[in-house]
Amino acid sequence: MASTAASADVSGPFPLTEEPSRPWRAGAGLSSLGGRIEAFLAARPFERGTWLAVAFAMGIAAWFVLPDTPRWLAVLAGCGAIVLGALAGFRIEGRHPYLRSAQIGLALMAAAGLVTVWSKSTLAGAVPIDRPAVVTLTGRIVAREERGAEDRVRLTLVARGVPDRETVRVRVNLVGKNDSPALAEGAVVRLKARLMPPAPPMLPGAYDFARAAWFMGLSATGSVLGRPQVVVPVQRGSWLGRVQRRLSRHVRERLDGSPGAIAAAFASGDRGAIAIADEDAMRDSGLSHLLSISGLHVSAVVGAAYILAIRLLALWPWLALRIRLPLAAAASGALVGIAYTLLTGAEVPTIRSCIGAVLVLIALALGRDPLSMRMIAVAAFVVMLFWPEAVVGPSFQMSFAAVIAIVALHSAAPVQRFLKPREEAWPVRLARLLAMLLLTGVVIELALMPIGLFHFHRAGVYGALANVVAIPLTTFVSMPLIALALLLDLVGLGTPAWWAVGKSLELLIALAHWTARQPGSVALLPGMGRGIFALFVAGGLWLALWSGRVRLWGLAPVLIGCAMLVRLHTPDVLVSGDGRHVAIVGERGELLVLRESRSDFAVDNLREHAGLTSNPIPLAKWPGAQCSADFCVVTLERDGRRTVLLLGRGRERIDERALAAACERADVVISERWLPRSCRPRQLKADRALLWRSGGLGLDLRSGRVTAVASTQGTHGWWRPQLPVWRRKPEQGGGASPVSAAMPQAAPAQ
């Protein structure tokens, strides 16, 4: 009725073709558009509410994307203006109630999201220390994490001893040989440590640990020097931490190698002992989600508890006649899910999954549809209310993208017709279910691929196929066998069950390695900009949250994003924030690095941001460069534009006049040291003075643009003020090569 009234309001009693002489008015066009939107919203009463959670997330994202307080206040003022305008229009005209309520609701939720994350940043944010320092700390251990694969222990302390700070929360790594059972939660220790401020992104688009540390309350990270001294032994300590470690140790004693480490991760959340090679294979095969306790594991545990409880309670007729079995089973499943969440460490992804599982149980107990977009929206809103910073992280985005994709797919009319029960032979039914499982995996992979490319610059191509085997294997074989083995261990009969657990996990690891070895198993792309990512998010949400043919409109931004991805190219030069690591992408697809680094972290970052899988080639061994102990000279040609790069390698003193002459002949100079004012290259001088303020850089020699880490940070508390972004001058670079004992002769363009 509402849509009919709206339509009559807009068009009037006569068709438009019968009154061609009516003059066009802007207000009439807007009224017609408003009427169409009103009819659209009126026809979808159960789909509008999910967009409130999206608006809340958009407000949170706006706070991270916008750089400073004036712009945050401008967003809040804009939301207030939308609300006031909608209220005023409704009082004057009284038309379009759905449209105006949508305007009010979305604006209020966006403003609430921005205020929520702004408030948490103000209250919980930890100011990082000013500079690296070696200090003696005295403090209480609040968290302990064992990293067996790296032979170290990670301790989080609330401590004193940092200059100009009363107490700080720090996280330090302790070498395994200096570990002691006395270093448990609650113990007061004294130790010497080398502390550093939480690391900013190494390159534009890289992982921002400084931002994560800000919301975790960490002011510094570092490493312990020597053996810590226990000042006050733990008296009672965290019983939960002791149970976690004992359970993890027990599982790893029953199973060796990565199978034991993965079983310990499923049972206690401790994934620190998984071999790095196996973890990399799980990542490249699209199976890494199985290693972190999240939706799959919590759902399996809660579902098993619910089914087991309702079956057992049904065996007691007296009880079955007096209580609602679904309600009792839901309560049992919720208690088991909460216990499993606490036992596995209560990380944010696990808590998020537990909240979703509990909401599903509540829906089952009330007789409602447990898998609906409304339930997902409620779960997302609860998570964002307490952990708003999770919105910009990959864990939150991947978890909810996967669940939204599953619900959207299975709520589509063609899929419901395909899955509709019918009389058929069991092989046909099994084939139909397997086909649906494969289709679900493909849809999930498509939903997760933009997120993986945006955050990690890589995505598993064959993950859908691998998950068709891995998810049932983990859910219906490995995890039930682990639970059975632990129960049988109570009476000393768990050995056969542990043997079966080991074989199932060996199969999982073999599947991961086989999938990761296939040609083209990993798709790599250079850094995707926020604009492209926003297109994929907007299109995906539109496809998932509406029903009917109108959802196909969401394909438009997705296709535009794909077209922009095709045109995306790798930056020609990548520079880390400290200036030590410089990578050049060669014309033949090779990755040239200034230094041979022993840091896997640095090398992996350079390769991923370049979108290359090949091993890097030291610049000194490349025939297109000339290097001395102090500098390398490289001449690059891109689209007919010749650019001379002077790259600093050493820290020895250089004659200033020779350095000035070399800089004058170069277009771009990059160095980790401070360079004098007399060093004036034609285009860019990226020395420590600039890099300290700009962070890592990506240079596009074709367009003359530079992307800086600082350009995406704004004035948030975890970052310093930024420098203006350099742009190349219109004149073409070139010139003679530097000639000096420290400046090698330039090579011709390659």
Rank 84-93, 379-388, 607-616 by mean pLDDT and report only the highest: 379-388
Grouping H, G, I as helix, E, B as strand and the rest as coil, residue 1 is: coil
Q: Give the whole-number percent of the chain exceeding pLDDT 70.
A: 88
- Kindly indicate the confidence band of residue 238, based on its pLDDT and cuts at 50, 70 and 90: low
| 730: pLDDT strictly greater than 60 | no
- How much is the pLDDT for 174? 92
Residue 729's pLDDT is 43
pLDDT of residue 702 exceeding 90, the answer is no
Candidate from 26-35, 142-151, 223-232, 410-419 with smallest mean pLDDT: 26-35
Q: Which two tokens stand for residue 586?
A: 């060669």
Which of the residue ranges 71-75, 295-299, 586-590 has the most confident prediction, judged by mean pLDDT?
Answer: 71-75
The tens digit of pLDDT for each residue in 472-494 reads 888 888 988 998 999 898 888 88
**Residue indicated by tokens 């107490």:** 167
For residue range 155-171, what is the model confidence (pLDDT) as tens digits? Answer: 999 999 888 888 899 99
The Cα–Cα gap between 324 and 313 comes to 10
Query: For the segment 43-62, what is each residue's pLDDT rounded down to a tens digit?
Result: 777 677 889 999 999 999 99
Terminal-to-terminal C-alpha distance of the chain: 71
Is pLDDT of 6 > 50?
no
Average pLDDT over residues 307-319: 85
Q: Residue 508 — pLDDT band, cuts 50, 70, 90? A: very high
Supply the pLDDT for residue 740: 36
DSSP per residue over 484-518, as a string? Answer: HHHHHHTTT--HHHHHHHHHHHHHHHHHHHHHHHS
Q: What is the pLDDT of residue 384?
A: 92
Residue 2: pLDDT band by 50, 70, 90 thresholds?
A: very low
Per the CB < 8 A criterion, the answer to whether 497 and 488 are in contact is: yes
Domain 133-237 fold is: OB fold (Dihydrolipoamide Acetyltransferase, E2P) (2.40.50)
Which segment of 9-18, 198-207, 448-457, 495-504 scores lowest on mean pLDDT? 9-18
Look at residue 271 in the predicted model and tell me its pLDDT.
75
Q: Whole-prediction pTM value?
A: 0.82
Residue pair 392/62 in contact (Cβ under 8 Å)? The answer is no
Contact 263, 501 (CB under 8 A): yes
What is the C-alpha to C-alpha distance for residues 22 and 504, in angstroms, rounded to an integer? 76
Residue 124 pLDDT > 80:
yes
The three-state secondary structure class of 449 is helix
Asked whether residue 241 carries a pLDDT value surpassing 80, the answer given is no
Question: What is the distance between the alpha carbons of residues 562 and 554, in angstroms, rounded to a whole number?
Answer: 13
Residue 154 has pLDDT above 50, yes or no: yes
4 touches 30 (CB < 8 A): no
Most confident of 5-19, 461-475, 688-702: 688-702
Compute the distance between CA of residue 646 and CA of residue 661 in angstroms, rounded to an integer.
Answer: 11
- pLDDT (0 to 100) of residue 636: 87
Q: What is the mean pLDDT of residues 145-163?
A: 85
The pLDDT confidence band at residue 541, using thresholds 50, 70 and 90, is very high
222-231, 328-337, 601-610: which has the minimum mean pLDDT?
Answer: 601-610
pLDDT tops 80 at residue 413: yes
pLDDT at position 712 over 80: yes
Specify the pLDDT at position 93: 62
pLDDT value, residue 91? 64
With 80 as the cut, is the pLDDT of residue 266 above it? yes
Helix extents (H) in 367-422: 373-386, 394-411, 413-419
Q: What is the mean pLDDT of the chain?
A: 81
Q: What pLDDT is stored for residue 538 in this prediction?
A: 94
Q: Kindly list the domain boundaries of the chain, sorted by start residue.
A: 2-124, 133-237, 298-370, 573-712
pLDDT the model gives residue 725: 42
The model's pLDDT over 62-109, given as tens digits with 9 standing for 90+, comes to 999 998 999 999 999 999 999 998 888 766 666 777 888 888 999 999
Q: Is the pLDDT of residue 446 over 70?
A: yes
- Evaluate whether 257 touches 217 at the Cβ level (below 8 Å): no
Dihedrals φ, ψ of 24, to 5°? -75, 140
> What percent of the chain has pLDDT above 90?
21
Other CB atoms within 10 Å distance of the CB of residue 147: 16
Q: Is 83 strand, coil or helix?
A: helix
How many Cβ atoms are within 10 Å of 490's Cβ, its own excluded? 8
CB 151 within 8 A of CB 189: no
Given a cut of 60, is residue 4 above it in pLDDT?
Answer: no
Three-class secondary structure of residue 348 per DSSP: helix
